Amino acid sequence: MDFSLSDEQAMLQRTVRDFVTRELLPLEGEVLRREREGQEGITRAQVRELQLRAKSYGFWGINTPEEYGGANLGPVMTALVMMELARTFIPFVFGGYADNILYYCNEEQKQRYLLPTIAGERVSCFALTEPGAGSDAANIQMTAVRDGDEWVLNGEKVFITNGNDADFAMVFAVTDKAKGAQGGITCFLVDRAMGWRSSYIPTMGEWGPAALYFEDVRVPAAQVLGEIGQGFRLGMQWIGQGRWIYAARAVGASERLLQMAVDHANTRVTFGEPIAERQAIQWMIADSEVEIEATKWLAFHAAWLAEQGQDTRHAAAIAKLHGATMANRVVDRVLQIHGGMGFTRELPIERWYREMRVWRIFEGTDEIQRFIIARDLLRGYTKIGALL
């Protein structure tokens, strides 16, 4: 059992960390200033410029199949990349990427949606969540009624990432209520030009999701993604593939925060000596390190299972639950160690504090992860103490 990185993995880690250090960390001060003034921290154009710059480092389509010009690095290397990118709060992802379910496009759809998205010419959003159907995704109410060669969509979606920027959405709607979720939900590719609109949802963090509104939006029958009635399966495939990624992000962000705490503890002097000499501070640092390391290996294990083509649902639920709760504990400790300065907006700690809170909600709440884990054990899907 070898826990060391291969030469290729170690080189990838160093290269991404170098990119983050050179290109992203210097932007943090300006982004914080702009956000304090109520402006957009970083624009879509700036992100696009950074993505093209990253392309010169060789980072383009890190999980895109080679036939589409990507590197197809695989889950384990993706976990490494996400850990490194999460060391900054700058909302950046490498370009050349498309949502996994877009690969179900037919040939005509690929030309209009998949390929332009990979090239960065189009922006998509995943529209499943509704006001009354968050964790209970099978309970969506948006309807799609067939009318000749078109479907007529009516309903509302909420908390949609990229919903305000997207020019097309992957929209899930009920096409046959009698068949339930497994056969009665269909996914549609819906251009904004077809008539849906969006509005910004203010949150306690800088993440700005959208509400999407569909009022008699007419969508050609050719816009069905995959097969009629198979939308719920696609939706769960989209959600399930990313849960362990949030554990990886939690590791990177928490490592950066913990280093800030260590540096501050060694330089902040009270009553004649650094606060690093105080046992209360030492225990917060020690507990954080233990929890970060545990999350790291939970994330790598789930990623490894994905790379082997095995079922990751149980491992991903464990990693996501532990990672999200861990990151919230770590940022709270780091803020406490910094005292009053940690509470100000001069440092990025309070920003991370606000941002990390949503990690326990989206892509499956803590409660949903606990439900999955307990269900797997109680029904015998997963054996306690099973041999690896």
Residues that are catalytic: 363
CA 39 – CA 315 distance, rounded (Å): 39
Phi, psi torsion values for 143, nearest 5 degrees: -110, 150
Q: Residues for the chain: how many in total?
A: 388
For the record, the structure tokens of 348 come out as: 């990025």
- Using an 8 Å Cβ cutoff, are 144 and 184 in contact? no
- Using an 8 Å Cβ cutoff, are 161 and 221 in contact? no
By CB atoms closer than 10 A (0-12, 13-18, 19+), residue 28 is middle
Return the beta strands (E) in 221-345 as ranges: 224-225, 269-270, 273-274
By CB atoms closer than 10 A (0-12, 13-18, 19+), residue 136 is exposed
- CA dist 102 → 99, 126, 187, 238, 289 (Å): 6, 10, 11, 10, 38
Helix axis angle, 366-378 to 313-338, nearest 10°? 140
Phi, psi torsion values for 196, nearest 5 degrees: -80, 155
Return the beta strands (E) in the chain as ranges: 124-127, 143-147, 150-160, 168-174, 185-191, 197-200, 210-220, 224-225, 269-270, 273-274
What is the residue-wise DSSP string for 55-90? HTTT-S-TTS-GGGT-----HHHHHHHHHHHTTS-S
CA 150 – CA 139 distance, rounded (Å): 24
Sole residue written with tokens 């991404």? 16
CA 386 – CA 375 distance, rounded (Å): 16
First to last CA, the chain: 11
Sole residue written with tokens 């050179």? 22
